[in-house]
Amino acid sequence: MDQNPHLCVWQNFTFDYVYDQDSSQEFVYENTAKPAVCSVFEGYNATMLAYGQTGTGKTHTMEGFKYNGNDPQRGIVPRAMEEIFRYIQMQQNQNTTFMVRASYLQIYNEVISDLLKVDRTSLAIREDKKKGVFVEGLSEWAVRSPNEIYSLM
């Protein structure tokens, strides 16, 4: 390699944070997801994405084990839902109406599946001038509380 420097290209990567097996669900949410969730209240779009090999903890990190507002093992999704509905509750006296819709999808082996309607698989990503980027055929459910979302999931 020293004789032929073009044989390999060195790259450096930086991370915002690296979590280990001792990191709590709350710490992961507060450190990683909460700023993105709160940016939605200012009109920005946000995406939570878990990527990695099978068995590395993606589902645990995103969902946790139980859908219970008091469970310290609840993941990013339940905590984000709680954050959103807490914000809506605080805005009640502002004469503002909110519509919250829930969708839940999985991309596995390049196949998009609707996790809330199991018969919907092989969905396609589309782009529209008015709607922006969306998944065609993905179910959307109007929800009024975290508990309604827990029921869906």
127 pLDDT band, cuts 50/70/90, is very high
Q: What is the pTM of this model?
A: 0.80
The Cα–Cα gap between 28 and 62 comes to: 10
The Cα–Cα gap between 79 and 25 comes to: 9
Quote the number of domains for the chain.
Answer: 2
Pair (60, 94) in one structural domain: yes
pLDDT computed for residue 141 by the predictor: 94
Pair (48, 112) in one structural domain: no
Pair (62, 87) in one structural domain: yes
Pair (22, 49) in one structural domain: yes
2 pLDDT band, cuts 50/70/90, is low
Q: Cβ(116)–Cβ(141) under 8 Å?
A: yes
Whole domain around residue 88: which residue ranges? 5-98+143-152
pLDDT computed for residue 40 by the predictor: 92
> What mean pLDDT, rounded, does the chain reach?
88
29 pLDDT band, cuts 50/70/90, is very high
User: Residue 69 pLDDT more than 80?
Assistant: no
Pair (19, 89) in one structural domain: yes
What's 21's domain CATH number? 3.40.850.10
Pair (89, 131) in one structural domain: no
